Amino acid sequence: MKRAVDIAGALAGLVLGSPVLLFLAVAVPLESKGPALHWSRRIGRNNVEFRMPKFRTMRVGAPNVATHLLADPDLWITPLGRFLRRTSLDELPQLWSVLVGDMSLVGPRPALFNQDDLVALRTAGGVHRLRPGLTGWAQINGRDELPIAQKVQLDVEYLRRRSLVFDLKILAATAWIAVTGRGVSH
């Protein structure tokens, strides 16, 4: 049932969001040199690496690390990128990853390929068995503001509580957070 909801949701999102997707596909490279999409190396279900698309929010040549690890993120994030991150519009291309089965609409956010500490804690908690999500329980409970150990605790809680009703609750909360920009530090 979850996979059917993912496919229907991703298709609906891609169709309904196509004007925004097309506009941003043109706007991103116009604002700063480089491609519209950044294909990020991420860790998926069962700790298998996959490539996840996002609208590019950083200048070409930015270090390939989590933003909070950069000495001065403001040097790398583009003005449009700041807006895309605050509104989560940079995440829209991930609907493709949901459609092809690398991701789900709801689940733990996929770790970067080099976030070994996060991957190890998730594996210890059994969270690695889940398909990563476009949004998740940790996302709506602090997002960038949470330390890794607390994110994993929330991911483990999601693993225990997951259901269609819980996923719908998370999706509704995500929409509200996207509108308000709450919890985005960069």
Write the Ramachandran bin of 142: left for phi over 0, alpha for psi from -120 to 50, otherwise beta: left
Phi, psi of 127 (to 5 degrees): -70, -25
Domain ranges of the chain: 2-180
133 bridge partner residues: 104
pTM of the model: 0.87
The per-residue DSSP string of 48-94 comes to -EEEEEEE--B-TT--SS-GGGSS-GGGTB-HHHHHHHHHTGGGTTH
Q: What is the largest CA-CA distance in the chain?
A: 44
Task: Pick the closest to residue 158 from 137, 132, 130, 142 (CA basis).
Answer: 137
Structure confidence by residue, pLDDT tens digits, 148-185: 999 999 999 999 999 999 999 999 998 888 777 655 54
CB atoms within 10 A of CB 179: 10
CB 130 within 8 A of CB 102: no
Structure confidence by residue, pLDDT tens digits, 45-61: 999 999 999 999 988 87
